[in-house]
Amino acid sequence: MSKILDRQSLIARRQQWRRQGRRVVFTNGCFDLIHPGHVRFLHQARALGDILVVAINSDRSVRQLKGPGRPILSEDERCEVLAAFEVVDVVTVFDDITPRGLIAALLPDILVKGGDWPLDQIVGREEVEAAGGRVYSLPYVRGYSTTEIIERILAHRDVLKRK
């Protein structure tokens, strides 16, 4: 059974999990170049419930958010990488700038974002809390971001070309 689901399949699966009494944790982001900050975050998120759903921005929405040079990896590649993690139960793609519609349809028990997102700015918080769920902003891991990794690569490109 594939871990990569479209929206309709994810919503159907959510209904099964609800009947089984399983707590669903939801997070979202671009997840463009996976780094240790992502890995630590995913482990912390998964520890909060029984099922971890990771929703990634589509290529189109990443370009809108980050600019024309992004994403580095396509949505299919990003899905494949995330699905390979044992702690990730489901990966899905959303095409909007925010996942609000998906969150409202899914109504996870727990909504999680990284610590660079204050609770009052987490998209979907109102919907999840109104349904009795909880929202967390997990500690941010300093020194790791896709932008920083890209900057490091660019700073070393002359050295890398010589090898």
In order along its 163 residues, the chain shows pLDDT tens digits of 599 999 999 999 999 999 999 999 999 999 998 988 899 999 999 999 999 999 999 999 999 999 998 999 999 999 999 999 999 999 999 999 999 999 999 999 999 998 788 888 899 999 999 999 999 999 877 777 777 887 777 788 777 676 5
Q: How far apart are CA 146 and CA 135, in angstroms?
A: 24
Number of H helices, E strands in the chain: 8, 5
Which DSSP symbol is given to 134? E
CA 55 vs. chain centroid, Å, equals: 5
pLDDT, residue 1, reads 59
**37/33 Cα distance (integer angstroms):** 11
**What structural domains and CATH numbers belong to the chain?**
7-162 (3.40.50.620)
What angle (nearest 5°) sits at the alpha carbon of residue 45, between those of residues 42 and 46?
85
Q: Would you say the pTM of this structure is higher than 0.85?
A: yes
